[in-house]
């Protein structure tokens, strides 16, 4: 799989990660967890590492922790994962309790990345996270949001705090991050995780009945989703994209987007124009 460096350290990270919003919020029965577990095993077998979650994603953290522990060759798979989650509450003490609970659910003594979810009480939590980073309880620190309306506030925090990661929305139909956040992240040496690469399904709904353009096939893409991911990943500021799925076949398609050539600046403009037709 295509690998990109984390600017803060140079550590290499596979370009396709795995989101868990909705898809991993399932119950305790084995039949309910079969899909997420199969996806995690296929993800690891394909060279995937970054798995992203949050306490606001219902049961997702528990399902990830249990599935990794129970997976075939579990110890080997579990140890290779780059686990990212978030804090989403107000107040230092509440944040500490929530993060500690997340670690318990994920079966971790430390996580690779802890992020302040949607900037909630961001200054308070970033102070705590710097302490956690110093203590080795998290390797990296970041912030997240998912709407363009918050981009100015996100930019202000990027300028105010030294951060390792930014997680933000970016897709062929939500391109606002190109204007401010992606250049700013590159300037400040911040890794970028892209959420909503299909704009919450809006992109795939728009293209469902359209044939895949011949230009996409020239880049090795057999579907709109592959082409859309190539567009996102070809931006030089983007480190990793985290589509969510509970279907191993869809996961295979996402990972295939890293095969073959990436679009250059001219091709990216043509891709953007194609989606606007």
In a domain, 111, yes or no: yes
Given this model, what pLDDT does residue 77 score?
A: 62
Pairing relationship of beta strands 138-144 and 165-169 according to DSSP bridges: parallel
Number of other CB atoms surrounding residue 266 within 10 Å: 7
Region of residue 260 (phi > 0: left; psi between -120 and 50: alpha; otherwise: beta): left
In a domain, 213, yes or no: no
In a domain, 3, yes or no: no
Q: Which pLDDT tens digits describe the chain residue by residue (277 residues)?
A: 899 999 999 999 999 999 999 999 999 999 999 989 999 999 999 999 999 999 999 999 999 999 998 864 444 565 689 999 999 999 999 999 999 999 999 999 999 999 999 999 999 999 999 999 999 999 999 999 999 999 999 999 999 999 999 999 999 989 999 999 999 999 999 999 999 999 887 887 877 778 887 778 788 888 888 988 999 999 999 999 999 998 899 999 999 999 888 999 998 998 888 777 5
Given this model, what pLDDT does residue 73 score?
A: 44
- Whether 171 and 198 have beta carbons less than 8 Å apart is answered as yes
Pairing relationship of beta strands 50-52 and 82-87 according to DSSP bridges: parallel
Dihedral angle computed from the Cα positions of residues 4, 130, 53 and 112, in that order, rounded to the nearest 10 degrees: 50
What is the distance between the alpha carbons of residues 168 and 118, in angstroms, rounded to a whole number? 9
What is the distance between the alpha carbons of residues 55 and 276, in angstroms, rounded to a whole number? 36
C-alpha Rg value of the chain to the nearest Å: 18
In a domain, 182, yes or no: yes
In sequence order, the 6+-apart residues with CB closer than 8 A to the CB of 259 are 220
In a domain, 77, yes or no: yes
In a domain, 269, yes or no: no
Q: Report residue 31 as tokens.
A: 């039949």
H or E segment at 84? strand 82-87
What is the distance between the alpha carbons of residues 265 and 249, in angstroms, rounded to a whole number? 30
Given this model, what pLDDT does residue 71 score?
A: 64
Q: Report residue 258 as tokens.
A: 């890293």
**Phi, psi dihedral angles at 16 (to 5 degrees):** -110, 120
Beta bridge partners of 86: 115
- Whether 18 and 53 have beta carbons less than 8 Å apart is answered as no
- Whether 181 and 168 have beta carbons less than 8 Å apart is answered as yes
Instruction: Count how many domains the chain has.
Output: 1
Range of the domain at 88: 10-201+235-260
With b for 16 or more beta-carbon neighbours within 10 A and e for fewer, the 59-83 pattern comes to: bbbbbbbbbbeebeeeeebbeebbb
Given this model, what pLDDT does residue 75 score?
A: 46
In a domain, 223, yes or no: no
CATH of the domain at 135: 3.20.20.100
In a domain, 275, yes or no: no
């Amino acid at each position: 799989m295509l690998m990109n460096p984390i600017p803060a350290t140079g550590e290499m990270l596979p370009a396709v990660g795995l989101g868990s919003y909705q898809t991993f919020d399932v119950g305790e029965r084995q039949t309910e967890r079969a899909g997420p577990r199969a996806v995690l095993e296929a993800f690891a077998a394909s060279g995937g590492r970054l798995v992203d979650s949050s306490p606001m994603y219902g049961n997702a953290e528990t399902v990830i922790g249990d599935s990794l522990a129970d997976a075939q060759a579990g110890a080997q798979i579990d140890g290779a994962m780059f686990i990212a989650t978030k804090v989403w509450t107000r107040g230092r003490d509440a944040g500490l309790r929530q993060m500690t609970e997340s670690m318990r659910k994920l079966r971790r003594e430390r996580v690779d990345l802890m992020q302040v979810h949607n900037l909630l009480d961001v200054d308070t939590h970033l102070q705590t996270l710097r302490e956690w980073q110093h203590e080795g309880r998290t390797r990296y620190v970041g912030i997240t949001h998912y709407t363009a309306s918050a981009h100015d506030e996100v930019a202000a925090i990027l300028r105010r705090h030294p951060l390792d990661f930014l997680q933000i929305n970016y897709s062929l139909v939500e391109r606002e991050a190109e204007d401010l956040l992606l250049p700013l992240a590159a300037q400040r040496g911040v890794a970028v995780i892209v959420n909503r690469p299909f704009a919450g399904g809006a992109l795939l709904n728009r293209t469902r009945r359209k044939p895949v353009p011949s230009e996409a096939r020239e880049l090795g893409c057999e579907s709109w989703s592959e082409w859309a991911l190539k567009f996102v990943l070809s931006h030089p500021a983007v480190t990793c994209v985290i589509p969510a799925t509970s279907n191993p076949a869809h996961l295979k398609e996402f990972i295939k987007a890293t095969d073959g050539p990436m679009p250059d600046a001219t091709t990216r403009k043509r891709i953007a124009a194609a989606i606007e037709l």
